[in-house]
């Protein structure tokens, strides 16, 4: 929902939400690069506020929203999440369509967000900005649309082709009538 790396999400600070010109915004202090700001939906604001409330109830006032249970001055670590999720996968014997145990790779969420942005037909500079990239070079990795989007987007063109074919079937005989 944020379009961030897991490390950036885990280091969100309690003061990350703010308003700018009547729009809900989030401040993301990137671990690998610089701080940037993005607009966010009301649903995401509500979710983050709920996470802040939960952390305050469990651990008191902290800098980070997601904290290490053993040392609440530190953000929750990716390895802790990975260990818990992999344990759940093993315990519940969760498998993919090929019968293999599920894997846990958080970067897939970032890629998924990038693909969704391309499906919204945003330009490369906007996608790069929303993903926190400095330039547009990496955007090519997200320029992959799903089959349903492609089908939906080409439906009008396919319907026009069908109309043309049907209009031109006149006089071709009974063998071609089955196409109608």
pLDDT digits (tens, 9 = 90+) for 78-132: 889 889 889 999 999 999 889 998 887 766 667 777 888 888 888 888 888 877 7
Query: Over 70: is that where the pLDDT of 140 sits?
Result: yes
So what's the pLDDT on residue 177? 60
So what's the pLDDT on residue 65? 95
Query: Over 60: is that where the pLDDT of 151 sits?
Result: yes
Q: What percent of the chain has pLDDT over 90?
A: 34
Q: Is 18 helix (H, G, I), strand (E, B) or coil?
A: strand
Region 14-19: mean pLDDT is 94
* DSSP code, position 11: T
pLDDT digits (tens, 9 = 90+) for 64-73: 999 999 999 9
Considering 45-49, 136-140, 150-154, the range whose residues carry the highest mean pLDDT is 45-49
Identify the H or E element spanning 155: helix 147-167
């Amino acid at each position: 929902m944020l379009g961030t790396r897991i490390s950036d999400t885990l280091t969100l600070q309690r003061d990350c939400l703010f308003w700018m010109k009547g729009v809900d915004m989030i401040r993301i202090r990137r671990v690998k690069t610089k701080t940037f700001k993005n607009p966010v939906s009301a649903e995401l604001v509500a979710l983050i506020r709920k996470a802040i409330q939960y952390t305050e109830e469990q651990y008191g006032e902290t800098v980070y929203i997601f904290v290490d249970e053993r040392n609440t001055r530190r953000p929750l670590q990716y390895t802790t999440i990975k260990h818990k999720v992999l344990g759940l996968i093993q315990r519940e014997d969760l498998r993919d369509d090929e019968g293999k145990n599920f894997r846990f790779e958080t970067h897939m969420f970032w890629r998924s967000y990038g693909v969704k942005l391309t499906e919204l037909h945003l330009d490369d500079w906007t996608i790069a900005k929303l993903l926190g990239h400095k330039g547009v070079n990496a955007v090519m990795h997200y320029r992959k649309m799903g089959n349903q989007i492609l089908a939906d987007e080409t439906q009008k063109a396919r319907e026009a082709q069908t109309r043309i074919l049907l209009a031109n079937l006149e006089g071709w005989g009974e063998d071609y009538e089955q196409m109608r």
